[in-house]
C-alpha cells in the first residue's frame, strides 16, 4: 500500500520559516510527480505547489510564490516544502499527494499542521 | 485562480440519490476532462473517489459516478449510505501544472 508520511509541522512566529518533509514508500517515487495541498482550519483544500518527477518542472500557487520552495530527493524517496516569510494565513494542515498520470492526486498523506502565530 | 463553486451542503435519506455540482470556468472545468472528486471524513486525509470526470479508482463503489457538462461537473451518489456522510471536494486541472479546488460540500445522510 502506498504510504506518504508528512512531518515538520509546528508552531512558528509570523515571518519565520519551516521545512516540511514527506517520506514516500511502497511505490516507485522516482517516477511520480507530486503536489503539496493545504487546508486551513475549517476551510477547503487549496493547491500549493507541484514538482515533476525529475524536478525539472515546478509551479506554485500565487499565494505562496516567492516564499515557498518545493524540492525532492529521489534517492531518499522524499519530498520537501521550504516555507519562508510565514504569515497567519499560512496556518493549515499541509498534505503531500502523489500524482497519477501527472494530473490526479490519487494518494495523500495524513497531513502535518503548521500554525503561524505570535 | 478562483475556487470552483460547490453548494455548501446537500442531504439525502439512505437509499436516495444525491448530486453535488461543481462550477468552474472555460479555463478549467470547461477546458479539461481532468475533474476529480475527493471524500474527506473529519480529521482524515482526502480520498480520491472519481478522476478524469468519470473514472473510478480501484476500490471505490460504483454508486459514486461523475459527469460534466460545459463548465459544470457533478458527482452523483446513487443509493447514499450512512458511511457516505462526509465533505466532498471537486478539483480541476487549470493548465500549466496548476489546480483549483471547490469550496467543499457537506453531505448529510438523514
Average pLDDT of chain B is 96
Best probe of the B interface among A34, A99, A103, by most B CBs < 10 A, is: A103
pLDDT at A5: 98
Q: How confident is the model at residue B95 (pLDDT cuts 50, 70, 90)?
A: confident
pLDDT, tens digit, for every residue of A63-91?
A: 999 999 999 999 999 999 999 999 999 99
Chain B residues within 8 angstroms (CB to CB) of chain A: 1, 3, 34, 36, 38, 44-48, 51-52, 57, 89, 91, 93, 96-104
Q: Give the DSSP letter string of B40-106.
A: E-TTS--EEEEBTTTBPPTT--TTEEEEEETTEEEEEESS--GGG-EEEEEEEE-STT-EEEB--EE
Among A37, A59, A104, select the one facing B51 at the smallest CB separation: A104
Residues of B in contact with A103 (CB under 8 A): 34, 52, 93
Give Dmax (Cα) for chain A. Answer: 41
Amino acid at each position: 500500500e502506498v504510504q506518504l508520511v508528512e512531518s515538520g509541522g509546528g508552531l512558528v512566529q509570523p515571518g519565520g520559516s519551516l521545512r516540511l518533509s514527506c517520506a514516500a514508500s511502497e511505490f516507485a517515487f522516482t517516477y511520480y510527480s507530486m503536489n503539496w495541498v493545504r487546508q486551513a482550519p475549517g476551510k477547503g483544500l487549496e493547491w500549493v505547489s507541484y514538482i515533476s518527477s525529475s524536478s525539472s518542472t515546478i509551479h506554485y500557487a500565487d499565494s505562496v510564490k516567492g516564499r515557498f520552495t518545493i524540492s525532492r530527493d529521489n534517492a531518499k524517496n522524499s519530498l520537501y516544502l521550504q516555507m519562508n516569510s510565514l504569515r497567519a494565513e499560512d496556518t493549515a494542515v499541509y498534505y503531500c499527494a502523489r500524482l497519477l498520470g501527472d494530473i490526479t492526486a490519487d494518494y495523500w498523506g495524513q497531513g502535518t499542521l503548521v500554525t503561524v502565530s505570535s | 485562480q478562483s475556487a470552483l463553486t460547490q453548494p455548501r451542503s446537500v442531504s439525502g435519506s439512505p437509499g436516495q440519490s444525491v448530486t453535488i455540482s461543481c462550477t468552474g470556468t472555460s479555463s478549467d472545468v470547461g477546458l479539461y476532462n481532468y475533474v476529480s472528486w475527493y471524500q474527506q471524513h473529519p480529521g482524515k486525509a482526502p480520498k480520491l473517489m472519481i478522476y478524469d470526470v468519470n473514472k473510478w479508482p480501484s476500490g471505490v463503489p460504483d454508486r459514486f459516478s461523475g459527469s460534466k457538462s460545459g463548465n459544470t461537473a457533478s458527482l452523483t451518489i446513487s443509493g447514499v449510505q450512512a458511511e457516505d456522510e462526509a465533505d466532498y471536494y471537486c478539483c480541476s486541472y487549470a493548465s500549466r501544472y496548476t489546480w483549483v479546488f471547490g469550496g467543499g460540500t457537506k453531505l448529510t445522510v438523514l
